[in-house]
Amino acid sequence: MLSITAQYRRTEQEARSSTDMRVQLFALVLVLLLGLGQSRKPHHQHQLKIPPHDEVARVARYVVNQCQWASMATISTHDPVKGQPFANVFSISDGPVGHGQGVPYMYLTRMEISVQDLEANAQASLCVSLAQTDFCRQQGYDPQSPLCAHIILSGSVMEIRNTSVEEVVAKKALFSRHPEMMDWPSDHNWFFAKMNITQKPETQSPQNQDACGPTATCLPVIRF
């Protein structure tokens, strides 16, 4: 009788242990699924509605503010492409998403070949596209489609004076959206720079004059 009772208790314990394992396994799978669901969310969510396409300055400001990087073209000083356009990718920021200042800031080092080009000729163009965000994918727009808003900024790249007020602004703008930058090697002599946009949009209209201020120093040349 004792043997039967002991065997029953052992069977009951094994059943309870098996149930506990199934519960733990279910909980683990649930956690993994929740994590997977979160990881599939776009890294960059559009928090603001894109302005009307005819309000060119506002669209330009929106694109620059929403995007994390740009393709910058310089005139190469390096063989075998010396004297030819040379495009490279750079992280940018004009401030927090939804609160940009309209000035694309960059974090550069003179060890970079494009920066060496800029030291010989500071003129450059900066292409920024919503194709890098979830907007065009959600709308089903091809990156080359005019409906997938992209802009081309034309001007010169200027180094921001060390210890200046603007350096503080640039640092906050970039490090808040690109925190990895804070850990980049200090012996690379990084410095902050900005795109000094020298031309206004060809389609500028009175209703968007105030988007970047009366001097229009942050209004880019637009191509759609």
At position 191, the amino acid (one-letter code) is: F
**Looking at residue 204, what is its pLDDT?**
32
Q: How far apart are the first and last CA of the chain?
A: 88
| pLDDT value at residue 48 | 62
pLDDT, residue 2, reads 45
Q: Which helix (H) or strand (E) holds 12?
A: helix 2-39
The HSE-up count of residue 14 (CA atoms within 13 Å, CB side) is 6
Give me the tens of pLDDT residue by residue for the chain, a chain 224 residues long.
545 555 545 555 655 655 555 545 444 433 333 444 444 444 444 456 899 988 988 999 999 999 999 999 999 999 999 999 999 999 999 999 999 988 999 999 999 999 999 999 999 999 999 999 999 999 999 999 999 999 999 999 999 999 999 999 999 999 999 999 999 999 999 999 999 988 644 333 333 344 444 333 454 444 33
Question: What pLDDT does residue 136 have?
Answer: 94
Reading the block at residue 127, the tokens are 């292409």
What pLDDT does residue 12 have?
58
Phi-psi region of 95 (alpha: psi -120 to 50; beta: other; left: phi over 0): left
What are phi and psi for residue 151, nearest 5 degrees?
-130, 155
Q: Are 100 and 61 in contact (CB under 8 A)?
A: yes
The pTM of this model reads: 0.70
Bridge partners (DSSP) listed for residue 193:
106, 159
The residue type of 130 is L
Q: Which helix (H) or strand (E) holds 21?
A: helix 2-39
Q: The tokens 């969310």 sit on which residue?
A: 41
pLDDT tens readout for residues 60-111: 999 999 999 999 999 999 999 999 999 999 999 999 999 998 899 999 999 9
